[in-house]
Structure 1
Amino acid sequence: MTSPARRFAGSLILVVWVVVWIFFATAIGDVVVASKSGWVQFGYFVVAGLAWVAPAAVLVRWMYRPVDRRDE
């Protein structure tokens, strides 16, 4: 896959991933965590708000990896 194609595909995947992550994190927070104390809610949303970064970092690393000429 060429570098521009990889970046385009990765960008689309990243946008979809973040939207899906927001939906599920908010739904879980609303159903499970809403009845808990304020500190539990705060902790959940801090973790949920930052946990998407690790998979996104792997994807971005793949997007900007040098193209191996054997793959083309």
Structure 2
Amino acid sequence: MPVRLKKFIGMIALIALVVLYALISTAFAVAVLADKSAWTHLAFYLVSGLMWILPAMWIIKWMETSKRRESE
């Protein structure tokens, strides 16, 4: 697969990931954390705000894989 196409697909996947993750995370917070304390909300948003990085790292690694193989 050409590098430019792979990067384009990865970019679309990253945008979709961020949008879907934000919607799901916010819906979960509204549904489950409605009557919880502010500290619970803070802890949830800190953790969920960092959790999207794991799938994003996988997508970025996939985007860069062919580039490394070609240069070796």
For Structure 1 versus Structure 2, the TM-score category normalised by the shorter chain is: 0.7 to 0.9
Query: Under a length normalisation based on structure 2, what TM-score does the superposition of the two structures give?
Result: 0.88
Aligned CA RMSD, in angstroms, stands at 1.3
Task: State the distance in 2 between where 1:34 and 1:46 align.
Answer: 17
Runs of 4+ in 1 over 4 A off after TM superposition: none
> Per-residue displacement from partner, 1:5-25 (whole Å, max 9, x unpaired)?
100000001101110000000
* Residue of structure 1 equivalent to 2:19: 19
Task: State the distance in 2 between where 1:55 and 1:24 align.
Answer: 15
Gaps of 5+ in 2: none
Structure 1 vs Structure 2: percent identity of aligned residues? 30
Letter in 2 for 1:37: S
* Pair 1:65 & 2:65 matched: yes
Aligned residues: 69
* Residue of structure 1 equivalent to 2:4: 4
More helix by share: 2
CA contact (8 A) 1:34 1:41 kept: no
